[in-house]
């Protein structure tokens, strides 16, 4: 079974530029999550989708971050404009469905450096 796919793996941009990350979850997984992991910290949830609907985006900085999952499979996370403090690893995870007992599996992540 293929895991969660993400691209690109690395991205370097200047502040105020825009960037987009792509995620393809494990086949059959209805729930998709985007996390931000800053060096030395645990991952922090940015947004959760169930199929193509948003379940929780309470921690997404909506003035600069946006995300979509139009057909309930792939998802894109965008940052515009980027700030220095956005330098982090952006992780996508998926699980079978919404529910506290469902385990989440992570993709390899995208390491973003903002200069």
Partner 1 sequence: QKEVEQNSGPLSVPEGAIASLNCTYSDRVSQSFFWYRQYSGKSPELIMSIYSNGDKEDGRFTAQLNKASQYVSLLIRDSQPSDSATYLCAAVYGGSQGNLIFGKGTKLSVKP
Which residues of this protein are in contact with partner 1, per CB under 8 A? 31, 33, 40-45, 48, 50, 55-56, 89, 91, 95, 98-109
Kindly state the smallest distance separating residue 81's Cβ from partner 1, in Å.
26
Question: How far apart (Å, rounded) are the C-alpha atoms in residues 90 and 108?
Answer: 9
Nearer to partner 1, 54 or 84 (CB): 54
> Cβ closer to partner 1: 77 or 91?
91
- Which tokens is 7 given? 């691209």
Question: Could you give the residue ranges of the DSSP H alpha helices within 2-83?
Answer: none
Shortest distance, CB of residue 75 to partner 1, whole angstroms? Answer: 16
Copy the structure tokens of residue 62.
């909506």
Closest CA to 94 of 7, 33, 27, 52: 33
Indicate the residue among 6 and 114 with the shorter CB distance to partner 1.
6
Q: How far is the CB of 89 from partner 1 (least distance, A)?
A: 8
| Contact (Cβ atoms closer than 8 angstroms) between residue 67 and residue 80 | no
Q: How many CB atoms lie within 10 A of CB 69?
A: 21
Least separation, in Å, of the C-beta of 41 and partner 1? Answer: 6
């Amino acid at each position: 079974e293929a895991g969660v796919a993400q691209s690109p793996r690395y991205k370097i941009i200047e502040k105020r530029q825009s960037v987009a990350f792509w995620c393809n979850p494990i086949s059959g997984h209805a729930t998709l999550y985007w996390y931000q992991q800053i060096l030395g910290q645990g991952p922090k949830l940015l947004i959760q989708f169930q199929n193509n609907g948003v379940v929780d985006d309470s921690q997404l900085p909506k003035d600069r971050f946006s995300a979509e999952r139009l057909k309930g499979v792939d998802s894109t996370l965008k940052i515009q404009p980027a700030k220095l403090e956005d330098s982090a690893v952006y992780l996508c995870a998926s699980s079978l469905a919404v529910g506290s007992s469902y385990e989440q599996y992570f993709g390899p992540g995208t390491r973003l450096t903002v200069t």
